[in-house]
Structure 1
């Protein structure tokens, strides 16, 4: 693994390190492994035996996330990694009126919630792109100047997404020094009218590739399709190829909530460049498949060692990966070690590389006979998530070929099979949420007009983006706390969305469209409910660093 910036390196076991301030242990990442069953007969082989690797970024004292914080001192801006954020915003003629007013308000919310160590640059594009202002620290003066600039935005002209991306990428590549976290937000409500051969429908990968800057997108681009007329396929392509997410803002007044959810994550990065390595613990074992969604995987030629490049993680985010091994017959073995897991990552706050080795190997029993074994609910629910994502992708491919009937049947069959699984029968919330989303997608593929001209394609692509990265995206009513489809939201995201929904910029008056929050919110990818939503802070006060 390539290491940069000459950061110091520490190696510890048990996935623990110590807080520099007081020497108390602070957990960084929790790693758990689960076998699909606890035992395999020593007289039988078991091919494609599934193992779940579960990661969770834990609550840290220095980040002040989670519960039991009453006795902790207030945290400073230094308690989280500062961000360089570039927003690339569509100001074409179609954004006139309510859309532009809502965009200004959403940007005002973003500006007010950045801290004095964070830097922001705003790029706008219509027929051409322009840099509204360079990367500036969001001090009190910086925030005031940024809000004034955003309030002066006007809409006119066509839609040149490629030029906006080029200027946004140039801001990032021209930095003489960098904040630890970098990100771009791209918003558009239309099709690129300057760089694609025709309007409407998806284009070839080579056409989309031509819109991406030649230097590449070196940081994640979180793309937001605004309304029903945007090019969802292009926005998804840009986000997917940069490691970002694609969100579908269906209702215009949800734009601020969607931005809030995104920055709630960006302002809580606690792990960077995470690499997960795993090795067969028994000499006769070999790795088979590695199922990691959109994350890059590698397998050594001898199939004994594999890795997953996870990248940056937000506080309290979880990731689940499935790997398979072929378990051989072994008459002399009563217990078989299967897997050893190691995590390597950069700590953006302590500015050091950390290597964390799991204290115990995953083992299974090898009795002569096993009888009826209980399938792991944890493994089963992640199989369901991956099967649902595969069904979504297969249905989308069928829909793009015009075969909506087949697409609907794929989603329907997957949903019916999912509801019969062990985890669904046990009342698992992830399965209930996946079933609800599969049903919603069926309805959005009711006919070609709904799929292409309305909301079907964008909703499906945003769902795929969420499940393949295991990261929250906005789609449909997903930012509504009463929605079943709340994918991978962390507490910092929930807090920021609550703040958005509760207060108007510069006012203590609640937004008319504020949604009631449930006392407990179940997130996809999490087996336990989140703590109740905290009250939002006034915008007139300095936002609490995340």
Structure 2
């Protein structure tokens, strides 16, 4: 059965068009009080669906349309090139609904050689508004490990934390509101997006999985604005572009919904071909929005392209990623991958995401697929910083850099250890990043200037913004002064330590040493509990402990680790390495780390998703506050 959310009470939950009495439309009101176009629901019932698409109530009385089959041409093929007879009736009916839909362009029945047929960008009339909103700038803060060290002491490995925070979202942007017909200007306070979604329609997606995928895609489509552009690649044994990259105007959304609704499941899983076509959509564009991304969802393993490496060991997942993405050191086209269910290949999806600068999310419970997509687009539709680079330079001639902890963000250090840089890339509104540096400090009788810190990035108007902060300095008293370590520095060390332990535990689990893996995590939990940040009640440090405990529980047996433990750990590593929110299993505990990187825009979009579709019985997923912080 279809589980489409109802956009408005006056709209059909199947075709998303309005339902108005007295306008030549036959309407059906079910015993559960939900209303649909008669031809939409009769087609739904004709294919064996006898429950309400909205509330899933089982109907005792069902609508019938005996003349339906005579209207469907023979030999029609599904949009994805696979013969899908049960879907043909649904596509035909969508072309029959209200007259004002007839202007929607028909989908491509074949693919062009080049994907340079993208729709032109919308001409914006909101430049003044955008300029005024873009005056907000990113923030930089610095935190030395201690405020002072004695004059007679030198210290190696002294920690300095650099904290970045992106500008806030506009009020409209943070509400996760639906786009309506009156939305004709560019999105206020954010960069428009070119998005390609790559969706698995292999045989294993048949039934409820495909229905939930359609519902989730419907949510994405309805929340893209008229300045955003979307293209969809559907894949099974082969991959096919459903429609060109087009603006999500009223007609664009209607066409996209028709394409998604027409899909049926069947065949194998060819992720590499799908990603190749998705990348081609972006690379062949005639016009370019400033932000672009790929969303990939799969519930299985690539059955066409993966092979072991030359030594016969682990699989070579790089074969799934287009070479142009592997060669792009700036990571301008991130792939946000979603693994669905217990049978997906979390290793391959995590590798694809990591290679491209994207995130990997684990959707353990099929009922939260829409929420997972909602959180992701809540971020993608709130980009306010692009191509950010952080630069650090030593000031005192005796100070020297010795290490940079930046996760997956590329960093470079000069050979003499006197300067370094970190490429942060783009940031969502209100996102935060922490970079931990270690420096060697010489003896000195005077206050010591350690570092100069600056950053540059492009804002929403494409203007280059350059920011500097005061030099990082420490005092040099005659003798040692009793003081606590900076809680900001200690918190970040805890986060890095936890991420390193997760990686070590995963490596042990992969070679079959589950007991060793559990011990690694237990040792890390003990060290975290002894830290100053944890003893001070720091929320992030306490959440890290809860995360590690959850991972230990998911390694109780080999079967449990294979079913969910591996994917849960990989989504955690992805989240920590990029300091960005991912979906992790179906945990909703407020104390867990799962929600720690969420931004207000993500939370608002997630809440909007949950308010537009009832949760299955016994399940009430909750959106959580943004990243815990003592700042």
Q: TM-score range by the shorter chain?
A: 0.7 to 0.9
1:295 aligns with 2:400: no
The answer to whether structure 1 residue 132 and structure 2 residue 242 are counterparts is yes
CA offset at residue 76 of structure 1?
Answer: 5.8
Matched, 1:470 2:470: no
Structure-to-structure mapping, 1:5-404, within 5 angstroms? 26-59=135-168, 77-197=187-307, 204=314, 207-216=316-325, 218-330=332-444, 332-333=445-446, 335-347=447-459, 349-358=460-469, 360-404=470-514
Post-superposition Cα deviations, 1:484-510, rounded to whole Å, max 9, x if no partner, equal 531300000000000001113xxxx78
| Residues 1:89 and 1:61: Cα distance change in structure 2 (over 3 Å) | closer
Say whether 1:426 aligns with 2:540: no
The aligned length equals 488
Is residue 466–residue 487 contact of structure 1 (8 Å, CA) maintained in 2? no
Aligned partners of 2:341 and 2:364 also within 8 Å: yes
Instruction: Give how far 1:429 is off.
Output: 0.6
Shift of 1:176: 1.4
After superposition, the Cα gap between the structure-2 partners of 1:174 and 1:375, relative to the gap in structure 1 and judged at 3 Å, is: same
Shift of 1:105: 0.1
Question: Who is 1:11 aligned against?
Answer: none
Distance in structure 1 (CA, Å) of the matches to 2:256 and 2:187 = 20
Matches of 1:338 and 1:193, distance apart in 2 = 54
Q: Is the 8 A contact 2:362 2:571 kept in 1?
A: yes
SS in 1 for 2:541: helix
Matched, 1:527 2:611: no
Q: Runs of 5+ in structure 1 lacking a partner?
A: 1-18, 67-73, 529-546
**Against the structure 1 CA distance between its residues 152 and 397, is the aligned structure 2 distance closer, same or farther, given a 3 Å change threshold?**
same
Per the normalisation by structure 1, the TM-score is 0.85
Instruction: Give, in angstroms, the shift of residue 478 of structure 1.
Output: 4.9
Tell me the residue number matched to 1:515.
620
Partner-residue secondary structure (3-state), 1:216: helix
Partners of 1:278 and 1:340 within 8 A in 2: yes
Secondary structure of the equivalent of 1:215? Answer: helix
Paired position in structure 2 for 1:69:
none
> Given the superposition, is the C-alpha separation of residues 396 and 29 from structure 1 closer, same or farther in structure 2, using an over 3 Å criterion?
same
Give, in whole Å, the separation in 2 of the partners of 1:174 and 1:53.
38
SS at match of 2:278: helix
Q: What SS does structure 1 have at the residue aligned with 2:233?
A: strand
Aligned-pair CA distance for 1:20 = 7.9
| CA apart distance, 1:477 | 2.9
CA distance in 2, matches of 1:257, 1:339: 42
Preserved contact between residue 169 and residue 430 of structure 2 (Cα < 8 Å): no
Structure 1 residues 512 and 46: CA distance shift in structure 2, 3 A:
same
Cα offsets for 1:396-427 (capped at 9, x unmatched): 11111111111110001101110111000111
Q: TM-score, normalised by structure 2?
A: 0.74
Task: Tell me how far 1:523 sits from its aligned partner.
Answer: 3.6
Alpha-carbon distance in structure 1 between the residues aligned to 2:238 and 2:590? 38
- Cα separation, 1, equivalents of 2:589 and 2:267: 34
Root mean square deviation of aligned Cα = 2.3
8 A contact 2:346–2:566 mirrored in 1: yes
1:438 paired residue number: 548
Matched residues in 2 for 1:307 and 1:236: separation?
26
Q: Check conservation: 1:481, 1:516, Cα contact below 8 A.
A: no
Contact 1:480 1:515 in 2 (8 A): no
Structure 1: how far apart are the matches of 2:134 and 2:237?
54
Contact 2:505 2:518 in 1 (8 A): yes
- Determine whether 1:503 maps to 2:583: no
- CA distance in structure 1 between the aligned counterparts of 2:196 and 2:532, rounded to whole angstroms: 45
279-288 or 236-245: which moved more? Answer: 279-288
Measure the CA separation in 1 of the matches of 2:388 and 2:240.
Answer: 35
Structure having greater relative contact order (Cα 8 Å, sep ≥ 6):
1
